[in-house]
Amino acid sequence: MSLADKVLAVNNDLPIRTELPVHSGKVRSVYWLTAEDSRRLIADKGYDVAADAELAIMVISDRISAFECIWKSEGGMQGVPGKGAALNAISNHWFKLFREQGLADSHILDIPHPLVWIVQKAKPVMIEAIARQYITGSMWRSYAKGEREFCGIQIPDGLQKDQKLPDLLITPSSKGILKNIPGVPEVDDVNVTRDDIVNNYAAFKFRSIDDIAVYEKLLSEGFDVISKALADLDQIFVDTKFEFGYVTDKNGNEKLIYMDEVGTPDSSRIWDGAAFRDGNIIENSKEGFRQLLLKHFPEPDILLDKNRMDERNALARENELPESVMMAVSKTYTDIAEKITGEKINLSDNPKAEIIEILRDQYGVIA
């Protein structure tokens, strides 16, 4: 069996019983269970959700996305070996820590397989909640051009590239296209200010103005929990993106929870502490892959300019990266996952067959 066979690249074709279209994102696919299967699992497994809650099976792939494109390599490798399992393991670790420290729950109810979550349907807050502890990446590029205001917050002069910021900076952006919000363009992923959110909290799908402070508290507390745990491993938590949503528990209480993933190499920058003290940056996150792509292609502006998406899509579609690139990324993901969780990331020989067997025999949701 080739290494490419151990990569789960296509994850939207599993025979999971559903009456709705499978929602397939860049990395995860979501299968909404039938009302009957949801009710049965809630009763059988004792999940802490309302009896009529909607459940879904979420399957993570090993695909790698960067600059809004999916990348592949030679040898038929359509993803990164071990990447999906590494991401899930890291998120599972942080969500467990959040619960133990009394922060908030997540949307995950069960983990049948290293590549699979059973989740409850959450009503998402329409904000990409971004927190930054260092000035780097796109923020540094804007700062170097003279920009000093980020999401309505003034940043002091005199900062250097990759320097620690005076305080944790919360720089939210819109999630999806939001309409009729004064001063906020009707496009996906644009920076917004706290005033934008306060003045239009319902448009951002907050239940109340007070919940804005709740999301900020959960964001900063979650950041601190991960940052301290990574510091113990001599890793630096540079910046990250969280997402939040509302769910209802079995007692009918609505609550704000963490959703999607947290503290992973896909959603965060993580630097090696020893290298940073020596004046070097070693990325233990997807940022390293992004930098590699920028160096790999002769015209990196295609990857940075959103007006050149057609050319960018063609680059990803028509170019196979060296297999060594995918293996280097695999090592980055599995190494940091094993460091964080203290457990080995094992590659499945046939991940799709394993998932189907478990979901059929233990959960009864295979059609």
pLDDT tens readout for residues 204-256 = 999 999 999 999 999 999 999 999 999 999 999 999 999 999 998 888 889 99
Please name the amino acid found at residue 357. Answer: E
* CATH, domain range 3-122+340-361: 3.30.200.20
- The closest of 242, 274, 238, 326 to 9, measured between CA atoms, is 326
Give the pLDDT of residue 22: 97
Rounded CA separation 114/354 (Å) = 10
Other residues' Cβ atoms within 10 Å of the Cβ of residue 347 = 15
- Which residues touch 63 (CB under 8 Å, ≥6 apart)? 9, 26, 27, 70, 78, 79, 80, 83
Confidence class for position 1, pLDDT limits 50, 70, 90: low
Single-letter residue type at 246: Y
Please give the Cα distance from 40 to 300 (Å, whole number): 51
Phi, psi of 188 (to 5 degrees): -70, 145
| pLDDT for 286 beyond 90 | yes
Mean pLDDT over 159-185 rounds to 92
Second-level CATH architecture of 125-277: 2-Layer Sandwich (3.30)
Q: What pLDDT score was predicted for residue 306?
A: 86
Q: Answer yes or no: is pLDDT of 4 > 90.
A: no
Q: Is the pTM of this model over 0.75?
A: yes
- Torsion angle of alpha carbons 243, 249, 252, 258, nearest 10°? -10
The pLDDT value recorded for residue 183 is: 85
Burial letters 80-109, b for 16+ CB under 10 A, else e? bbbbbbbbbbbbbbbbebbeeeebbbbbbb
Upper half-sphere CA count for residue 152 (Cβ side, 13 Å): 14
Q: Can you say how many angstroms the Cα of residue 342 is from the centroid of all Cα atoms in its chain?
A: 21
Q: What is the DSSP letter of 281?
A: -
The whole-angstrom separation of Cα 292 and Cα 334 is 18
Contacts of 7 (CB under 8 A, 6+ apart): 62, 77, 78, 79, 80, 81
Contact status, residue 322 vs residue 274, Cβ threshold 8 Å: no
Q: Of 206, 252, 205, which Cα lies nearest the Cα of 53? A: 252
Pairing of strands 235-248, 28-32: unpaired
The pLDDT score that the predictor gives to residue 202 is 95
The average pLDDT across 50-78 equals 95
Residue tagged 């695999």 (tokens)? 330
Q: Does the structure show a pLDDT above 70 at 75?
A: yes
pLDDT at 275: 97
In the block, tokens 């917050």 appear at 153
Q: Is residue 333 scored above 90 in pLDDT?
A: yes
Look at residues 186, 66, 167 and name the one whose alpha carbon lies nearest to residue 126: 186
DSSP label at residue 342: S
| pLDDT grade for 188, boundaries at 50, 70 and 90 | confident
Q: Which residue has the tokens 């590549």?
A: 115
Do the Cβ atoms of 301 and 36 come closer than 8 Å? no
- Decide: 150 and 165 in contact? Cβ < 8 Å: no
Determine how many CB atoms are found less than 10 A away from the CB of residue 8.
24
- Per-residue pLDDT, averaged over 125-141, amounts to 95
Domain boundaries, the chain: 3-122+340-361, 125-277
Q: What 8-state DSSP symbol labels residue 63?
A: -
Backbone angles phi, psi at 175, to 5 degrees: -110, 110
User: First CA to last CA across the chain, in angstroms?
Assistant: 28
Q: pLDDT by residue (tens digit) across 17-26?
A: 999 999 999 9
Alpha helices, DSSP H only, in 101-171? Answer: 137-144
**Which one-letter DSSP state was computed for residue 16?**
B
pLDDT value for 2:
77
Q: Are strands 268-272 and 235-248 parallel, antiparallel or unpaired?
A: antiparallel
Average pLDDT over residues 133-140: 94
> Residue 262 — pLDDT band, cuts 50, 70, 90?
very high
- pLDDT above 80 (res 344): yes
Helix (H) / strand (E) element for 299: namely none
Which string of b and e fits 183-213 if b means at least 16 CB within 10 Å? Answer: ebeeeeeebbbeebbeebbebbbbeeeebbe
Stronger pLDDT, 314 or 348, i.e. the higher one:
314
- Average pLDDT of the chain is 95
Contact 93, 30 (CB under 8 A): no
- Reported as a pLDDT band with limits 50, 70 and 90, residue 289 is very high
